[in-house]
Chain A
Amino acid sequence: PHPGTRDQFQEELVIRPLHSGDIYASFQFRTLWDTDFLQERQKKVSHYRLFPKSLGQVLSKFSVRELHISFTQGFWRTMQWGQPFIPSPPGAELWVWFHHTVSDVDGNWKELTNVLSGIFCASLNFIDMTNTVQPSASFKPLGLGNATDHRFLRYATLPREIVCTENLTPWKKLLPCGSKAGLAVLMKSEKLFHSSFHSQAVHIRPICQDEQCTSKAWELRQTLNVVFDHYTSGQGKKEWSLFKMFSRTLTEACPLASSSKVYVDITDNPELFELSPATHLLSRAVVLGDRRTYSVYDLTRAETFGQLRSFNLLLRWKGDNMLRPLLHAERYVAGFGLQTGEIHTVIYNNHPYRAFPVLLMDSVPWYLQLYVHTLTVTSKSRDNKPSYIHYQPAKDRHRPHLLEMLIQLPPHSMTEVTVQFERALLKWTEYTPDPNHGFYVGSSVVSALVPSMVAMSTNFTQDQPLFSSFVPVKEESSYFVRVYTEPLLVNLPTPDFSMPYNVICLTCTVVAVGYGSFYNLLTRTFQVDEPSPPLAKRLANFIRRIRGVPLLA
């Protein structure tokens, strides 16, 4: 690189054949920039090279220390697919740590969500105080600095957000090479969105330049994770290639990238599948508590592309087996009727002999009124008392419930957390356009340090693959995992929406009738009236008059 450029760009694609027969492809693009957006000095950062200008402006305007945003379509099936490299809940998730000099955090957060919704063409502007929480323990900064004051943290999810092409295009625009060269060429939206799981994310944080942490740099990580279900949607053949997945092949690396690599997880090779073209470049890494072996294809080298000047990876499956993830969680709503219900969160520890603690975070909208006294945590049909509970009750129309718990999971167990709730009646303007569809409740988040089967490497090296370096490993014996449960869909009592008019008309009529009788009572004159003689008598009198006989009295 030219002297004086202080930014660098790396790209990477990891392909992991999943045991269910699906393929997991994870793209990571990293831009490192040796600068400081939060300078106290007057000089603003305003000259951009590889780092996208729009995001840089957002960072310096809103004094953002760390920003994590993800858009996900589909649900990551931890039971079948294992842990993803970077987890994300269905819908949109945004969490931001602001710099400690920010005085009006809520104002900045409101404005930031509006700006981000413009940048990513998403409905992030629907984030407001009613779905924003400040978790006390679950979301620590992933970058430099050990901020603990959660007043500067804001977390929100929009479980209903639909992710599609219009979100992908601005995301691709943030890459220095766009979708013109390098790995991003593979991102054709008609293929990416024809998949079981799609998740794209942007993570910005300050990190250390080297192991001694002498200088600081800003890291922008753009990740895109896809799971293709070629086994079920295809012809039942367990066989895939780059062209089959993306309907493209690779022809060159992004010329601006200092490294451009494709990794294929071949830990189970050769029993399970064969890979062509074969490569002798292998990389071993300990990822998520497991020692894995990867075939590495370096796109910056011309021989990778071979004679055809095009790189297409092919893989055929031979066998089958299944591995259980050590930690996974699920959630559902129980109960009947439209008045009360019960949220069940089930967390599985599949480790055969180790117990470990997990942090469970739940953010429930205010219109589900939680009865916290009904909160029960049971493991192996025995009461499991959480060692830490942070509960912030909701305020109607102002903020949601926040429930954080530290729960010890016994080995090889299933822990069930239940809490009852009552559904609130909304004002008629508060209903969404299709209220009968139901109301989404965001995923609960389980964060844990899972004991590792093998020793994790705590060394920091610059040439570590990107997928293994997102969450820093602090100790050898465990690794950090975050698991998101399914979002919930809850029905609320829904009125007939012509009701207000009917109510107004009915009330008016009742008032008018009441008023009418009252008015009548007041203004009528009552007189004693001579009762008229019965008909027979009148008839007799008539005949008598004709006959000239005296009338009856």
Chain B
Amino acid sequence: MAALQLEKQRVRNAVLAIAAVVIVVGIPLWWKTTETYRAWLPYSEISQLDSLQLQLSVDIEVVFSRGTLTPEQQKKVPLSHVNVKEHQVDAKTGLRYKYETRYRTATIMEEDALNQPTAAEADLSLHMLSENSCGSVVVYVIPESSALLPVDVKVYVGQRRTALLRSPPFTSSWSLKEVLSNLDVDVKQVVSTMSFGHQDIVAALSNRVRMTKVNKESMADSMRTIKSSPGYEITFSLLNPDPKSHSLHWDIEGAVQSYIQPLLNKLAPIANFSVDSQILYYAVLGVNPRFDNSVSAYTLGADSLSHVINPVEARLGSNAASSNPVLNFLLYVPDAHHSPLYIRDHSKREVPSNAFHSPRWGGIMVYNVNEMYGPEAERPVDININMAKVMGVFLAQLRLMLGVQRTHPPTGFVLQSPGSAGLADWELDRLLWSRSVENIATASTTITSLAQLLDQIGNIVINDNIAQQVSSAVTSLQSAVAELEAGNLAFALHYSREAILASERAFFDPSLLHLLYFPDDQKFAIYIPLFLPMCVPIVLSLLKTVSEAKQRLADKQAKRD
């Protein structure tokens, strides 16, 4: 009987030992060998980014020149004033605009600069005095009687970041506070012209927010604008459908150098641009233009323009050397039998530039050469294309595509044309504001959806390089938001570009595709032949041991009782 008891004890120990080995060694071993590698991701920081509170800070400097303030009023400046506006765009996105206005009187050198005969010269000399930081606005208040501006002009916006504001009439008995509040309306208008407008910023958030409250025009602007990207390829193509009758020559190299390059140099902080050109022969438009007897010319109606691009695009070819978005500008020279060719708008009038653009794709210009050869000229006729005319149109289209929005200044405003640079500093700032916000919005959306995806599908391997990209995207995003808050626009754009690059690289990494589809039923089909015969005896004997132990306990209890 004792031997039997001993044997039973041994069996019980064996069962427990085997169960212990299976649980302590087997299960962790199985777990370790079949787990997918998932590097750590900063989920908590990503979920913080999911609700985005952006603060945009603008430094405004209002400088009073001599004769705009009374001596008593002057004593009280300099002073500063902070104005904050908040907008809740949707449940997860909030905007905060912080306008920090500082008031001061003009220095002697600035007074000298303001004494120049014209506003443009004053603008230049003020620019020579001090370089204003990216994103800031300086408003010079000049006396009401100043001859710097024409009589009906209230505000002059220069090529840089300065504006001249004709002081509104006020009596010398007013306190400084009243003067400032009187000025405030005009300053606000100047700032909304030279810096961002609320509509542009909301349009830039279109990747995050469903557009409902945006007006039609900024919607059209933002849809026309090519998406933010670290680089763009600009391709000029000359389409010559009839090389037999005319051989065309264009000095594209010189034209790019003198018309396009200055603008691109100016835009260098936003993206890298590369420009190339090609000539395509026997390339035809996809539609047949209609002959209009009344003007004895061929015409393309606005409704048929949408069919022009697709057949041409097959010939354009994609850029083999990079994957940046491409902006195409096509110069189409109609063949002798189909010229002249005119583009008509919706109201059946001829478009003066004879060109049209397609949002986010590029522009097409028709260039008629029929006057350049008589009927008896020897074919092919050598034709030199007037690049100034062509580039004027393409430059305007390029500005539209890049998102340099046309601003509609309030009455009484004069905007100095940007001149040879192609872009005024404050126009660049407007672009920087909306690009930074757009980049931040896009990168945060990309990162949050990536985190969501990785969270949902446990089978995806997360390599260290992905985790590193994600973390660097998150840090860049945080720095971008912080820089925007501090008003350092240039740094904010730089970090937002880094964020977008890192987030896209993480999102589109090919290693995330492995094992995406490895369904659970197959896994169980493979495991069952091993696990079922192994687990059943263990579980049964464990149950038996437990019930025996219970029995024993109960026996002991009964014995004690």
Q: Is the CB of A525 within 8 A of B8?
A: yes
Q: Is the CB of A181 within 8 A of B18?
A: no
List CB contacts (< 8 Å) of A484-536 with chain B: 501, 504-505, 508-509, 511-513, 515-516, 519, 522-525, 527
B166 CB to nearest chain A CB (Å): 47
Interface status of B508 (Cβ within 8 A of chain A): no
Interface status of B247 (Cβ within 8 A of chain A): yes
Interface status of B533 (Cβ within 8 A of chain A): yes
Chain A positions within 8 Å of B24 at CB level: none
Interface status of A176 (Cβ within 8 A of chain B): yes
Give the distance in Å from the alpha carbon of A512 to the alpha carbon of B235 in the complex. 68
Binds A, one of B129-137, B146-154, B315-323: B315-323
Q: Is the CB of B530 within 8 A of A47?
A: no
Q: Is the CB of A58 within 8 A of B276?
A: no
A163 CB to nearest chain B CB (Å): 21
Q: Is the CB of A255 within 8 A of B321?
A: no
Chain B positions within 8 Å of A4 at CB level: 249
Chain A positions within 8 Å of B18 at CB level: 519, 522-523
Chain B positions within 8 Å of A525 at CB level: 4, 7-8, 11
Binds A, one of B278-286, B289-297, B334-342: B278-286
State whether A524 and B281 are in contact (beta carbons under 8 Å apart), knowing that A53-B317, A119-B320, A505-B529 are contacts in the complex. Answer: no
Q: Which of A55, A177, A522 contacts B281 (CB 8 A)?
A: A177
Interface status of B67 (Cβ within 8 A of chain A): no
Interface status of B277 (Cβ within 8 A of chain A): yes
Q: Is the CB of B541 within 8 A of A515?
A: no
A228 CB to nearest chain B CB (Å): 27
Interface status of B377 (Cβ within 8 A of chain A): no
CB nearest neighbor in A for B382: A2
State whether A256 and B317 are in contact (beta carbons under 8 Å apart), knowing that A48-B279, A522-B14 are contacts in the complex. Answer: no
Chain B positions within 8 Å of A504 at CB level: 526, 529
Most buried by A among B249, B320, B380, B541: B320
Interface status of A381 (Cβ within 8 A of chain B): no
Contact pattern, A 170-181, Cβ under 8 Å of B = 1, otherwise 0:
000100111011
Give the distance in Å from the alpha carbon of A254 to the alpha carbon of B35 in the complex. 64
Q: Is the CB of A57 within 8 A of B276?
A: yes
CB nearest neighbor in B for A519: B537
**How many positions in chain B have a CB within 8 Å of any CB in the partner chain?**
41
Interface status of B182 (Cβ within 8 A of chain A): no
Most buried by A among B277, B526, B533, B541: B533
Q: Which of A46, A177, A501, A522 contacts B274 (CB 8 A)?
A: A46
Chain A positions within 8 Å of B278 at CB level: 47-49, 53
Contact pattern, A 460-502, Cβ under 8 Å of B = 1, otherwise 0:
0000000000000000000000000000000000000000010
Chain B positions within 8 Å of A54 at CB level: 317-320
Q: Which of B253, B274, B317, B320 contacts A173 (CB 8 A)?
A: B317
Give the distance in Å from the alpha carbon of A118 to the alpha carbon of B322 in the complex. 12
Contact pattern, B 265-279, Cβ under 8 Å of A = 1, otherwise 0:
000000000111111
Interface status of A61 (Cβ within 8 A of chain B): yes
Q: Is the CB of B541 within 8 A of A523?
A: yes
State whether A180 and B282 are in contact (beta carbons under 8 Å apart), knowing that A511-B530, A512-B529 are contacts in the complex. Answer: yes
Interface status of A343 (Cβ within 8 A of chain B): no
Q: Is the CB of B4 within 8 A of A49?
A: no
Chain B positions within 8 Å of A115 at CB level: 320-321
Q: Is the CB of B249 within 8 A of A118?
A: no
State whether A516 and B537 are in contact (beta carbons under 8 Å apart), knowing that A115-B320, A177-B282 are contacts in the complex. Answer: yes
Chain A positions within 8 Å of B276 at CB level: 46-48, 53, 57
Contact pattern, B 239-252, Cβ under 8 Å of A = 1, otherwise 0:
00001100101001
B380 CB to nearest chain A CB (Å): 7
Interface status of B180 (Cβ within 8 A of chain A): no
Give the distance in Å from the alpha carbon of A504 to the alpha carbon of B317 in the complex. 50
Interface status of B287 (Cβ within 8 A of chain A): no
List CB contacts (< 8 Å) of A234-253 with chain B: 252
B248 CB to nearest chain A CB (Å): 10
Give the distance in Å from the alpha carbon of A332 to the alpha carbon of B46 in the complex. 62
Q: Which of A44, A57, A177, A255 contacts B319 (CB 8 A)?
A: A57
A8 CB to nearest chain B CB (Å): 13
Chain B positions within 8 Å of A524 at CB level: 11
A361 CB to nearest chain B CB (Å): 30
Interface status of B15 (Cβ within 8 A of chain A): yes
Give the distance in Å from the alpha carbon of A61 to the alpha carbon of B244 in the complex. 34
B304 CB to nearest chain A CB (Å): 23
Chain B positions within 8 Å of A2 at CB level: 247, 249, 382
Chain A positions within 8 Å of B8 at CB level: 525
Give the distance in Å from the alpha carbon of A5 to the alpha carbon of B247 in the complex. 12
Chain B positions within 8 Å of A511 at CB level: 530, 534
Chain A positions within 8 Å of B14 at CB level: 522-523
Q: Is the CB of B253 within 8 A of A508?
A: no
Give the distance in Å from the alpha carbon of A48 to the alpha carbon of B319 in the complex. 13
Query: What are 9 pairs between A and B in contact, CB < 8 Å?
Result: A46-B276, A118-B320, A177-B282, A181-B244, A255-B247, A504-B526, A505-B526, A512-B532, A525-B4
8 cross-chain pairs, A with B, having the tightest CB-CB distances, nearest first: A512-B533, A508-B530, A46-B276, A180-B282, A61-B321, A508-B529, A57-B321, A48-B278
Known: A61-B320, A115-B320, A181-B244. 16 other contacts (CB 8 A): A2-B249, A47-B278, A48-B276, A53-B317, A57-B276, A58-B320, A115-B321, A256-B243, A509-B533, A511-B534, A512-B533, A513-B533, A515-B534, A523-B14, A523-B541, A525-B8
